[in-house]
Amino acid sequence: MYGYVRVSTLAQSLDEKISELHLLGAQTVYAEKYPGTTIEQPEFQKVLSVLQPGDILIVAKMDRLVRTVKGSLEVMDQLQTKGISLRIGNIGTFETDRDGKLTPMAKMMRTMMLAFAEYERDMIVERTQTGRAYARTHVPNFKGGRKPVINGRHLNQMLEYYDIHTVKETVSAFNISKATLRRRVAERKAQQI
């Protein structure tokens, strides 16, 4: 029995989620951190490559596997074709027969559960957007998004450093991404105009 877990941000811890999969019966767990909108899932590809007919893949929740109904259906079909059962912690086990087929009832339940998982994610996004829109109009000095990675005196030091160093040297010295550096340099140029 293999487990797979994904968290959406680098700040999230995998420890609790890995423990949960062990409690669900996973002997080996593949884990990774990446946004649900990202296509690359190297650890998920690894677990898919080791699964054999008769194995069970365990995930805590359906949206930890793939974010969309279409994507989840594709993965479930791929597992069924290989004769691999899928256990979803908060739903149950979708077992495959020797031919890799689900019962008609299991197919219907699979489609419904995936639809609800996508609906739940869409509702979270909608609530977040509604909250931000409200805050923009009702909260003085509201600033959306994350706090800047680098600001104040540290920002000035970085910009001065960048004036005489390369992009690679600057991002390494200040432990920031190239995108953050480019954005801050562009902001400085816009202020100078």
Give the catalytic positions in this structure.
Answer: 8
Q: Comparing C-alpha atoms, which of 20, 23, 39 is closest to residue 31?
A: 20
From CA 25, how far away is CA 28, in angstroms rounded? 9
- Phi and psi for 177 in degrees, rounded to 5? -85, 160
Give every strand in the sheet of 2-7, ordered side by side.
28-33, 2-7, 56-59, 85-88, 92-94
Retrieve residue 47's tokens: 């677990």
Q: Are 65 and 78 in contact (CB under 8 A)?
A: no
Question: CA dist 189 to 18, 145, 183, 185, Å?
Answer: 46, 22, 10, 6
Looking up tokens 């669900």 gives: 24
Distance CA 34, CA 12 (A): 10
